[in-house]
Structure formats: structure tokens, C-alpha cells
Structure 1
């Protein structure tokens, strides 16, 4: 006797900004998901988004979550709103996927996971580039010993700052954001996926240009002051005793440094920018003179933003008790909070993991 096919899960997009269009490029191709609604606090933005993508229902986040029968709510709003909107979705019986960061504090993100668990619901979270072919190829290479035992890594986001391309860059420099809060989750997510959870942190920071000038858009030439440190260096130690240096900076004019390198006992591995879903992965073993490129899986579907939502859908369909990406995102929030503590206090920070068995699930 064959089982009857299940209907697609009903999905609502909460937050209709530019990133939502990128998600829709991936999600509208998924056979197991249908977009039934979109929402934004700006009703005109929700209306335009619905018309552009052919979405039948639209409104404010509260109205859509309360009145639409939503299985999965994809929250793509500013970080400060993530927790409250996720709780609204839980109250409506919806599973949740959240853009990075999962929460502004580790306490908030942990409570979110516990609330979902108590209600029998799942939480997935960005970044989802660890699901893309480059990350999978790197993970396979590490687990099969292509470079021996990993013992160190170096990650670097080195950029001149978003004021060069964004017409309203001030939020990138707000307190609690800066290059660590904005781009750090991509690097930390990839590092924990490949090397396991972080247990120890030291950090220091500086700001070389506290006044910035907007270089594009209607406010070109306007200046503003930064609130967050703009050059952060963190030293991390993983549960597996790998030593990791993470540098995030909006103070660098130019660089030739790789985004992420992993060093093993028998060789080294170079990964592409973890903010994206593509790029080559190269390795070179001890004694060799030439870097070789790792083969990557052929992928039948789009590998853009939204892969994490499809991973959450798979977890829902399989009856899983947790979605791995939600717990990895919580650990990243923990790590960023520990880096901030170490930076401001001048003392090392040790991390408490949510639960031992979930620690293993970070890889």
C-alpha cells in the first residue's frame, strides 16, 4: 500500500525587504512548500511584494500570523524584532525560520528554542551557507582526513565598510552590530559546522575611523559616527581544541587574505566567502607544491538563500524533535556575546552549551 503524497507546507514571509526577494527565488521552486502570505509593518511594502510574487494574502505580521493558516513562518525582519515575531508564530502553531541573528542575546535565543520545544515546534535559522556545495565538500574532506587532523583556523572579514555601497549604512555601525554582529555569524556558523562548538574566547577591538562618509545614494557626502567597534580580533578554542583566529573589520582598504583557512596536521584547506553559497574549495597536502580543487556535489535546485528553510521543511516532514540550524544559530549568538564580554572586560570567556547532545549536533 502506497502512502498518499502530503500537500505542500504553507509558508508566510514576514518582512518584505530586499533579502525576501532572494529567499523567494529559492522557495518558489520548492515542490514541498507554497507561499500563501507575506507581511510587513509597512503595508505598502507587503502589497507590492505580494503583487510582484503572486502571493494571495498579505498584511501586517500580527494579522497574517493570527489569521492565515501558516505551517512555516520565515522571519526576515530587523534583528530586534525576531524574538517577538517568533513568539507570535508559535502562538499560531507555526514552525519558524529566522534570519541571522536568532536573537540579540543568548538568553533570548535559548528561551526561543525552549519555547518551541515545549510547543512541539521547530526553529531553523540562518546563515544557511553551510548547506551549500562548498561547505559540504569541505566537511567531507575534513571527516575523511584530507588534511589530517584539523588543529587551527583563520577567518577574516576584511572590508572598507558598507558606506561604500549602501545608501543608509548607519545601522551597520549601531551598538551591538559592527562587522562582528553583521558579518560574524557567517564565519562563526561555518567554523562551528566544520570544527565543532566553541568553548573559550578572548578578544580585543578598536575603531580607526569613528566618523564615516556615505558614498552612494541620496545622502552621498553625509557623515555619521560609529557606535560599534569597527575592527575586532577574537581568539577562539573549539571543543576539539582547534585554535581559531577570527578578524572582522570595516577598516581595511584592500586585502588578498583568504576568507577562511583551516590547517591540519597533513595539509591546509581554503574556503570561499561564507556569506555566499558557491565558490571553489582548495587543499594542499604537506610536501605538495600545487593547490588542488575539491569536487563538489551536483545540485538540482537553487543554492541561494532559503536552503535553510527547505532544511527545516525536511525536519518537519521527518518528525524530527529539533532542527540543527536553530541550535547552531543559538551557539553563534552565545559566541558573539562571549566575544563582546571578553572585549569589554579584558577577561577570557567560557561558553556554556545549551545541552551536551546538541553540542555534537553542531557538526
Structure 2
């Protein structure tokens, strides 16, 4: 298959993981990179053997077929729409947008151009999460009834050199880490029908703990503790908490409870991990992975899947409908807390197609 030519915009921390992952996928050829900071683009280009160009040059490059949009959340939609207007497909980092109003603009632009839009996260395509998906689909726990999902820490300012966007509008633990959890839950259980949420902010400001901004005070402008219930269209109900206000805890990442047993799902921010199953009153047992690529950071597999889909004409798994649905669910938590009522989710998406058992990285179809 002829490789799809990729141009990368946004050369921050996460770009290195994407570029390292690209080496596993012959269907991808990253040719150039750009950033609002030209020095950052040059450094990434030198590190990975790319051409450093301006954003305008990248968008105008007729060889670039897909823009990989790794900008900060507030720039996701403007950059994505610019890519579409230049005739290029786009795959954007999470979140899909910082609001549903903004997200609808991107959906409309995609519809108008007929081009593809993909959205991270793609970790649900990892071997551990596809194994959990197969167990549920095969009836290992019977009908899923309920579950829990926890992502709790004390924020990113202790390690990130410029954590301001984590605490600005469109940031916070739900918009930062919620996409991993919610996307995987949609992968496992299907779309969400209703949300009940409560939100708080435990600290009014944060102090940067590393890098050139060490000691700088960052104002908190978004909820930093988000908790509530996800009512799925399938009937399952999941309790979820995402927080930047917790120093320590002992909760596991995710558990799903069904009529015939229970399932432990590992960290949705990782591709691998241990999947454990308990049938009724039997003891817990770790489950051998049904999908072979268990470990490693393949944080470009969703784009590789889209590249194959472009060449073959099939749907891609990390599509705009999934990204927007997760966005609407995230926004609904804050709205529910503010309005003190349950919020009905208007959008629907398909469960992404499962990968074949024992898939290797090069066997995505």
C-alpha cells in the first residue's frame, strides 16, 4: 500500500511519541513539521529527519495528504478547519474541541469538504483494551450492568514546563484525561445516553514546579474535580471520577460488572496492561491477551488506521462522530453540575469496529 504523506503541526511534548510510533507503521510517511515556535519545529525536524516549515507552508504543500494536529486544545479546531480548507484530511489530538459549539463547526467543515477527520485517543486500539472488548462481546461477564472508572492525581504542574492550558477553559482533568476513559468505555459499552455530574475546584491557583517557568503561579479557571454517572444507551451505568485535586488513592482504573462476572480493565491511557476476569464467585484470573501488540507506546495507531481507510475506502475507527460524542459527554458533566440536573446526550456514534484477534501492528483491518 502506498504510504499516506503526513504533515505535523504542533511540535510539543506529545509529538515525539507520535513520531517514534510512526516507525511501526509503513502506511505512514511523516514528511514535515511546523510549530508556532520555529525553533521547536527545527529541533523536532532535526531529531526525526523531517523538513521544518511554517504552518502556512505545510498547509499549502500539495504532497501533504493528512495534517496531524498536535497543537494545544484551544487551537485544535482552528488548525483542523484550516487543514480541511486546504484540501487535507486531519487527525487531531484530544480533545476533539474545547466545546460542543466549536466541535460542531469542525463537523460542518468536514461535511462540506467531504474529507476525513480523526481524533485521539487511540489507546482503545491497544492489545489490552481490545482483549477486554472481545471478552465483553463474547459474553464472558454476561450483560454489562455497571462499573467504575477513576483517574485521580494532583495535576501536571509538578512536571510540565508550561501547564497553563491544563487549568484554562477547555482544560481540567475531564478534558485532559477523560477522553481516554470515555472513549474506551464507548469502545466497550457503546454510546452514552445521559450524564449526571458534579464539579468542584479545590485550589484557586497552581505553582509550576519544573522548567523555565518554575515558581510561576497559574490561575485555575476550570473544574479540577469532576465526578458523576454515565448512563449508557445499552443500560449500563458507570460511576466516573477525574481529578487534579487528589494526592493519593487506591482505586483501580476501570472495572466492568456484568450479570455473569466482573472485568478489570487497565489504564486507558496505555495500550497494554493486565486484564483480569472473575466469573461469578470464582477467584480473579489474569487473561492472556487475545491481541498480540500488548505493550509499547503506539500513539499513532489511530492515524495509521485512518491512512489504511483512506487507501481502501472503509470507515476509520477514531472518527469525528466518536470524538464529538465524547466531547459532548465531557461538557455535559460541567453543565450537569452547574444546572443541578441530568443532561441527555444528543449525539450518537457507532462502537468502533473491533480489531481482529491476534492482530499485529501491521494487521489493522
For the criterion TM > 0.5, the same-fold answer is yes
Alignment of 1:144-155 (within 5 A): 144-155=138-149
Q: Distance in 2 between matches of 1:220 and 1:241?
A: 47
**Cα pair 1:197 1:362 within 8 Å, conserved:** no
Question: Which residue in 1 is equivalent to 2:363?
Answer: none
CA distances 1:276-328 after superposition (whole Å, capped 9, x unpaired): 11111111111212333342422399652101110111211121356543221
CA distances 1:44-87 after superposition (whole Å, capped 9, x unpaired): 211221122111x3222122111342111100001111112112
Question: Which residue in 1 is equivalent to 2:362?
Answer: none
**Cα pair 1:327 1:362 within 8 Å, conserved:** no
In the alignment, which of 28, 48, 54 is matched to residue 49 of structure 2?
54
Q: Distance in 2 between matches of 1:98 and 1:328?
A: 13
Alignment of 1:247-258 (within 5 A): 247-258=241-252
CA deviation after TM superposition for structure 1 residue 12, in Å:
0.5
Which shows bigger deviation, 293-302 or 33-42?
A: 293-302
Matched, 1:118 2:109: no
- Change in Cα spacing, 1:33 to 1:174, as seen in structure 2 (3 Å) is same
Question: Which residue in 1 is equivalent to 2:37?
Answer: 42
Matched, 1:327 2:327: no
Q: Distance in 2 between matches of 1:284 and 1:300?
A: 21
Which shows bigger deviation, 291-300 or 160-169?
A: 291-300
Matched, 1:63 2:94: no
Question: Which residue in 2 is equivalent to 1:310?
Answer: 304
Question: Which residue in 1 is equivalent to 2:170?
Answer: 176
Question: Which residue in 2 is equivalent to 1:212?
Answer: 206
Question: Which residue in 2 is equivalent to 1:196?
Answer: 190
Q: What SS class does the counterpart of residue 162 from structure 1 fall into?
A: coil
Q: What value does the CA root-mean-square deviation take over the aligned residues?
A: 2.1
Q: Distance in 2 between matches of 1:115 and 1:224?
A: 34
The runs of 5 or more residues in structure 2 that have no matched partner are 355-365
CA deviation after TM superposition for structure 1 residue 265, in Å:
0.9
- Change in Cα spacing, 1:176 to 1:50, as seen in structure 2 (3 Å) is closer
Q: Distance in 2 between matches of 1:36 and 1:211?
A: 40
Q: Distance in 2 between matches of 1:8 and 1:146?
A: 38
**Cα pair 2:273 2:295 within 8 Å, conserved:** no
Matched, 1:135 2:129: yes
Question: Which residue in 1 is equivalent to 2:72?
Answer: 78
Question: Which residue in 2 is equivalent to 1:279?
Answer: 273
- Change in Cα spacing, 1:19 to 1:361, as seen in structure 2 (3 Å) is closer
- Change in Cα spacing, 1:267 to 1:294, as seen in structure 2 (3 Å) is farther
Question: Which residue in 1 is equivalent to 2:150?
Answer: 156
